[in-house]
Structure 1
């Protein structure tokens, strides 16, 4: 068996992950010159340059990136197999997740995860909508783009948007629409797009990557356009638009997980209007080669159970 210099492999992984020779030296408790020596030895063995160095800037070459993908996975597997043989029952996982999903859905549920699986140590990594699916980024992901054939995917949620406002603002709307004089127990009339356009529309840019894209889609579902006289207030993120709605500033479009079992979900009213599908589907993703790892399977089962219990996914 012809192997590369094994001592150099964790050094290479640390330098690539931290993007720094000095930080890798600090983490591994060795000198920076020792780090440089190990990397040079590995590059000599492979006959390939693994890093480009320009002043203080350090970047992986294409060959270095390809090598890291394989080495990172191998080192993680060695670590986990060794822990199993040593009798260590704990499981450590890094989960890459979107900010809104983490803040509104996942974080409030973490105490339940810890009670059910106390041996699972979960570290959350904030991600963009299109995280790079790689072991060097995280051990598993919540993503809307199942693009990598090396990963397996479990459905969690198919996104839809519906209009909401605060409890106080809903009472104001009912007064302005003349619905506050309804007999007790009478059904609330359907809220039409014409009704909605009479109030400020709180728009989220990030959903459709364009100003008022969410409200354009909502009106488009019933073959209408946003009225020219509609009052639009723009926000970059759904979290911001929902906060504005909480403070009685108008009507926002939000989704199911943003209002799922949070204590403050009672601050909002889901208005009696139609919903629009965004086209985004949320998946839990993990590298197929790591499918037997205990921690990944515990987290997968828990996420699916919670998604079903919270109404995000059908059983």
Structure 2
């Protein structure tokens, strides 16, 4: 008789290894943290091997634990696909957790194309403002600033570069667009919390100080600043790829001033073990082809 590891313990181990945290695994599986610890001990007793080690307060996999995790993730994914094939169960709506600015200014205008090509795949957008906990209880797929997350496959979508934009009607015909003109205009400034004010960063990156007399209108979110720019209230800083459609439709123009690279990256993430699921694979293929 073949000797196989206890399957429930293997499921719990996969969640704990992916989350690198017993408590988060417990939340994902709707069990207690002590139940997670118990299942991990059962699995370690079965293999007579330690699967985790602690480095300070950080939970790490041992070499054997890493090997088991990679194979367990692959097996669970194949079982999920096999289950759909045998039962004929249709793919439920995929949940995509995504920043509201990315969704509104870039993804939603393009999503109708995906739906035309894949009408049987439903994508539910869940808006986020901060980086979410990566868990299937939150979403199936994520567009986030997080990267290099254990158990997750990632694809870089865009590196953030902020450029000054305003409505075409905001500029008088024949106006000389230089820094002297810029500082006399109303700047639509976004308060990015710990990162500070975006226009403040722009001036610092260009080795300048904002003159005291320069007017600034403060916003809590970049979407608000962009909309204010479209209706002619001032000059906003926006991610270049997010306003490409507004520029093409002449709602905004990019001003001839330097942009700044913020170092922030928009990444697509999904569980490594779910890469072969047809619906997720189709969405990834479509997403990575978009400009």
Are the structure 2 counterparts of residues 263 and 90 from structure 1 closer, same or farther at C-alpha, using a change threshold of 3 Å? farther
Q: Give yes or no for the alignment of 1:192 onto 2:178.
A: yes
Identify unmatched segments of 5+ residues in structure 2. 10-25, 41-68
TM-score (norm 1): 0.66
**DSSP 3-state at the match of 1:138:** coil
TM-score (norm 2): 0.71
Are the structure 2 counterparts of residues 260 and 81 from structure 1 closer, same or farther at C-alpha, using a change threshold of 3 Å? farther
Report if the CA contact (8 A) 2:230-2:251 is conserved. yes
Q: Which residue is equivalent to 1:143?
A: 144
**DSSP 3-state at the match of 1:118:** coil
Are the structure 2 counterparts of residues 263 and 269 from structure 1 closer, same or farther at C-alpha, using a change threshold of 3 Å? closer
Report if the CA contact (8 A) 1:91-1:294 is conserved. no
Q: Which residue is equivalent to 1:278?
A: 262
Q: Which residue is equivalent to 2:162?
A: 161
Q: Give yes or no for the alignment of 1:228 onto 2:229.
A: no
Q: Give yes or no for the alignment of 1:247 onto 2:231.
A: yes
| Cα deviation digits, residues 19-42 of structure 1 (max 9, x gap) | 9xxxxxxxxxxxxxxxxxxx79x9
Identify unmatched segments of 5+ residues in structure 1. 6-14, 20-38, 49-69, 181-188, 311-315
Within a 5 Å distance, the mapping from 1:1-315 to structure 2 comes to: 2=6, 80-88=81-89, 90=91, 92-171=93-172, 174=173, 179=174, 191-206=177-192, 209-210=195-196, 213-261=197-245, 265-306=249-290, 310=291
Provide the C-alpha distance between the structure 2 equivalents of 1:4 and 1:159, rounded to a whole number of angstroms: 42
| Cα deviation digits, residues 127-162 of structure 1 (max 9, x gap) | 133111111111110011214122111111011111
Provide the C-alpha distance between the structure 1 equivalents of 2:91 and 2:7, rounded to a whole number of angstroms: 30
Q: What is the aligned-residue RMSD (CA, Å)?
A: 3.4
Report if the CA contact (8 A) 2:77-2:273 is conserved. no
Are the structure 2 counterparts of residues 120 and 47 from structure 1 closer, same or farther at C-alpha, using a change threshold of 3 Å? closer
1:120 CA displacement: 1.4
Q: How many residues align?
A: 240
Provide the C-alpha distance between the structure 1 equivalents of 2:107 and 2:117, rounded to a whole number of angstroms: 15
Provide the C-alpha distance between the structure 2 equivalents of 1:232 and 1:138, rounded to a whole number of angstroms: 37
Report if the CA contact (8 A) 1:101-1:257 is conserved. no
| Cα deviation digits, residues 213-262 of structure 1 (max 9, x gap) | 21122112321111121111100000111121122211111112332335
Are the structure 2 counterparts of residues 17 and 289 from structure 1 closer, same or farther at C-alpha, using a change threshold of 3 Å? closer
